[in-house]
Structure 1
Amino acid sequence: MTAATPPDSPVPPSGPSARDPGTLLLLVRHGETPTTGTVLPGRAPGLHLSDRGRAQAEQVAERLEGLSVDALYSSPLERACETTEPTSARTGLAVTQDDGLLECDFGEWTGAAIADLAALPEWQTVQHSPSTFRFPNGESFTEMQERIVAAIGALCAAHSGGVVVCFSHADPIKAAVAHTLGTPLDLFQRIVISPGSVSAISFVDGQAPAVLMVNSTSEPLSELRGP
């Protein structure tokens, strides 16, 4: 017969320990633009944040208060770089652009209206079997996932034990979260990543990476490091 555990016995933590908090990765989707939800902008230059998007960027910076950030990285696209500006100003950290954080290359679909694309038979493949799809003269979802996973792995290794904030785009962030969770790429469309949202992943040596939050738009981020 096994003796019962005394009521006051401490329970070993299941997540990152206070002794080894690991590397905290925050994946931030850029704020809204004038075409968010209506156009597939891809990597086309010249798309800037809307007033609401700028407010969302400010909110991200406010939510980071109390969290010691070690590095800021961004997709080179304007809407992502503009989202970094309030955080860079508050932290005093420069932003490094990284092509690994870029939006998916939508090829010939770049700039198309989503309503028009949704009428195409290929749209069903995009939604239900994305691992099999390559955008015409563009990137495949599999390539996009491999790219973002490699990029965040390298950035976290460069700042081991620190807090790394990466500003990117919806599909790459969804793919990174799916990979961390072990979710098949064909199911990654079930993950929602809203403009201005933050998703957090913890990397601790000797442990599988842990997804701490997904699509968060309000909670103080300092709580991710504990007291």
Structure 2
Amino acid sequence: MTTTFLLVRHAAHDRIGSFLAGRTGDVPLGSAGREQAQRLAARLAREDIGSIYASPRKRTRETAAAIAAAAAIEEVATAEELDEVDFGTWSGKTFEVLNADPHWRQWNSIRSLVRTPGGETMLDVQRRIMELVAALAGRSSDRKIVLVSHADVIKALICHVLGLSMDSWPRFDIAPASISAVVVGDWGAKVLTLNEGVS
């Protein structure tokens, strides 16, 4: 038996690209993001979706709710394993401030080794997302599973499946409201599609 996972990055919030939202507050989708989520939902309504799991963050839950409505899925499950990276004291800071921090620059150069201040490493993130995928693949039907999460979490999973170091994260994009697909079986896992956009 194989299980197909549709990895969805949440749609855009109003300050995307200007500050590190992380786990600070509960950042909602912006107006453009809500429109993105509707286009994403229309695209995914064509898939045979059996269940939807989302990160606890508001922006992921709002994205997942749009998908659930279009796919006639009654409930979205919250999965802590899909949560944004714990950026510790970096959460909520602007990228202008972060880019002046040598620790931030080091983390972006060697994410396989560096821990965020008071937070986690990307290997921690990779471990938790892979544990969730393994657990869901082990008890899944033939229907597809949607995981609504964040760019770095999805990148951690893709890097694992492709056998890449976490330091390979800048080599591909995971855009807001994008879809990537991974299939998992008793033979292993492979990437089917990467960063399919709807906007």
Q: TM-score, normalised by structure 2?
A: 0.94
Report the Cα distance in structure 2 between the residues aligned to 1:169 and 1:66, rounded to whole angstroms. Answer: 23
1:167 aligns with 148
Worse-matched range after superposition: 55-64 or 171-180? 55-64
Report the Cα distance in structure 2 between the residues aligned to 1:154 and 1:188, rounded to whole angstroms. Answer: 24
Worse-matched range after superposition: 65-74 or 169-178? 65-74
Please list, as runs of the form range in 1=range in 2, the aligned pairs for 1:17-36 lying within 5 A after superposition.
Answer: 22-36=2-16
Task: Please report the RMSD computed on the Cα atoms of aligned residues, expressed in angstroms.
Answer: 1.5
The letter for the 1-side match of 2:45 is E
Which of 153, 172, 182 is matched with 1:191 structurally? 172
The letter for the 2-side match of 1:83 is T
Q: Does 1:110 align with 2:86?
A: no
Report the Cα distance in structure 2 between the residues aligned to 1:166 and 1:202, rounded to whole angstroms. Answer: 13
The letter for the 1-side match of 2:160 is H
SS at match of 1:42: coil
Report the Cα distance in structure 1 between the residues aligned to 2:14 and 2:198, rounded to whole angstroms. Answer: 22
Which of 114, 121, 137 is matched with 1:133 structurally? 114
1:68 aligns with 48
Q: CA deviation at 1:185?
A: 1.1
Q: Does 1:200 align with 2:181?
A: yes
Report the Cα distance in structure 1 between the residues aligned to 2:30 and 2:5, rounded to whole angstroms. Answer: 26
The letter for the 1-side match of 2:91 is T
Q: CA deviation at 1:215?
A: 0.8
Q: TM-score, normalised by structure 1?
A: 0.83
Q: CA deviation at 1:195?
A: 0.4
2:22 aligns with 42
2:61 aligns with 81
Q: CA deviation at 1:135?
A: 0.9
Report the Cα distance in structure 1 between the residues aligned to 2:171 and 2:183, rounded to whole angstroms. Answer: 22
1:120 aligns with 101
- Residue segments in structure 2 that go unaligned for 5+ positions in a row: none
Instruction: Give the % identical residues.
Output: 35
Q: CA deviation at 1:209?
A: 0.7
2:157 aligns with 176
Larger Rg: 1
- Residue segments in structure 1 that go unaligned for 5+ positions in a row: 1-19, 220-227
Measured against aligned partners, the alpha-carbon deviations of 1:102-141 in whole angstroms (never above 9, x if no partner) come to 0000001010001211122123222221011111111111
Report the Cα distance in structure 2 between the residues aligned to 1:117 and 1:200, rounded to whole angstroms. Answer: 32
2:195 aligns with 215
1:155 aligns with 136
Q: Does 1:143 align with 2:131?
A: no
Q: Give the conservation status (yes or no) of the 8 Å contact 2:36–2:198.
A: no
Report the Cα distance in structure 1 between the residues aligned to 2:46 and 2:27, rounded to whole angstroms. Answer: 31
Measured against aligned partners, the alpha-carbon deviations of 1:152-174 in whole angstroms (never above 9, x if no partner) come to 22122231432000100010001
